[in-house]
Amino acid sequence: MAVLVGKKAPSFSATAVINGGEVVEGFSLEQYLNKKYVVFFFYPADFTFVCPTELIAFQDKLKDFEKRKVAVVGCSVDSHFSHWKWLQTEPKQGGIKGVKYPIVSDLSKTISENYDVLAGGYVYSDEGNISFNGTPMAYRGLFLIDKKGIVRHQTVNDMPLGRSVSETLRMVDALQFFEENGEVCPADWHKGEKGMKATQEGVADYLSKH
């Protein structure tokens, strides 16, 4: 599994569904450069079980992300037709109607491959035949990208393990606190708490108070 932290987020141009039903081609994260942070997350597939709970949870906290100037973008290997249909389906019927942030279609699986979250890969036999080894879907990868397009945080969960949206917000707060104050964030730091100077004296002072 590749570690993308500290590196430029892989670029792409793909079809996405935005605003709950508008299909756009050529969607790219580059539109947010120097303007917004991005939480870019992958999920295995539309019309599954854990996935709608995650996508709806991100929507429920969308205003909290927007207050922090963070764009939330989802992605799976489904087609944009599948995304659109899922977005028109009521939650009580397994849908995600009401989700407004962009959902990218990675039908070619190249975006998942570039972010190294694809749960398998193509292999060639001695006869030259190609097959897919593994599961042709993405793990639950999540990438926090700063305004310069650099990945600052990533997590990758196996498919049965849903993510914590609150933890994602906490990481956004920690990154922005560091950028604004130049102090690092100790274990279990939350917004509103004091940071710590990245020195031996700073560590000693912090530990003496906890």
Catalytic residues: 51
Other Cβ atoms closer than 10 A to 25: 10
Residues 177, 173: Cα–Cα separation, whole Å: 6
Burial class (CB in 10 A: 0-12, 13-18, 19+), 62: middle
Type of residue at 12: F
Q: Is the Cα torsion angle 16, 17, 22, 23 positive or negative in sign?
A: positive
How do strand 70-76 and strand 37-42 relate by DSSP bridges?
A: parallel
Rounded to the nearest 5°, which phi and psi values hold at 15? -80, 140
Give the contacts of 81 (CB within 8 A, at least 6 positions apart): none
Determine the Cα–Cα distance for residues 5 and 153; give it in Å rounded to an integer: 6
Q: Cα angle vertex 135, ends 113, 57, to 5°?
A: 75
